Structure 1
Amino acid sequence: MLKGLLVDYAGVLTDPEAHLLYDYLREARARGTRTALVSNAAGAGASMKAELAGYFDALVFSGEVGVAKPDREIYLIAAERIGLAAASCVFVDDAARNVRGAAEAGLVGVHHVTVAATLGELTALFS
């Protein structure tokens, strides 16, 4: 059973229709799905972290944890931070190599191409 949703920032949450993904994240958390942001960024400022905290249970930045996508360790760190096994998590990214890295770490991977397609896959996976 899938209980966790890990999402990339740049390319996914910066998509022109990302507000629909943010809505999905808010609703997923309300249903009990644990969420984490997984980004290859060095980190984020306090205001951005505060804004993202409304959507994510954990924020994992490669610059803060010392490992970057597609290294399997970053996905395992994110799953651990939300209290779940990798096999119970889905990872969404616009870079196919990062999705492959997550799948190799035991997560279900979703390659983000459009918001509509990603939401369709998430709805199927979490229903």
Structure 2
Amino acid sequence: MYQALIVDYAGTYTDPEIAEAVEAARVKGFRTALLSNADRTPGGLPEVFDAVVVSGEVGFGKPDERIYELAARRIGVDAAACVYVDDIRAFVLGAVAVGMTGVHHTSPEATAEELSALLGL
């Protein structure tokens, strides 16, 4: 059912447990993307992302539906096949509006548990 994991950067991917979950998803064959409202691509990213979409580089940001759709296109999957994780609820709802399954990141433990249930990580 799910083919991809898309995560926010600051406040989400920056938690070591979420970084580990992204790596585990990639190893299991899921497509992965980083989606951020930053001005530019964060430096020092590991090679675990199939795509990086940054609002400052594309001209629109979360919660604009176009940015979620762009992230899904860049990794070659339908939005409905994506799980999106963000620490800002409004941004999770933006992803849900385009058909993604949203996970509101409130703690590393809760998010890891949710990703385990959804993706078998």
Shorter-chain TM-score tier: over 0.9
1:35 is matched with 32
Secondary structure in structure 1 of the residue aligned to 2:85: strand
1:74 is matched with 67
The runs of 5 or more residues in structure 2 that have no matched partner are none
Contact 1:4 1:88 in 2 (8 A): yes
The runs of 5 or more residues in structure 1 that have no matched partner are none
Offset, 1:44: 2.5
Q: Which runs of 4+ in 1 moved over 2 A?
A: none
Are residue 24 (structure 1) and residue 17 (structure 2) matched?
A: no
1:115 is matched with 108
Equivalent AA in structure 1 for residue 23 of structure 2: R
Offset, 1:61: 0.2
What is the correspondence of 1:1-127 to structure 2 with a 5 Å cutoff?
A: 1-14=1-14, 18-44=15-41, 48=43, 51-127=44-120
Partners of 2:20 and 2:81 in 1: how far apart?
22
Equivalent AA in structure 1 for residue 17 of structure 2: L
Report percent identity of matched pairs: 49
Alignment length (residue pairs): 120
Contact 1:22 1:55 in 2 (8 A): no
Equivalent AA in structure 2 for residue 90 of structure 1: V
RMSD: 1.1
TM-score by structure 1 length? 0.90
Contact 1:42 1:62 in 2 (8 A): yes
Higher helix proportion: 1
Secondary structure in structure 2 of the residue aligned to 1:52: coil
Partners of 1:65 and 1:105 in 2: how far apart?
18
Contact 2:6 2:33 in 1 (8 A): yes
Equivalent AA in structure 2 for residue 125 of structure 1: L
Offset, 1:40: 0.3
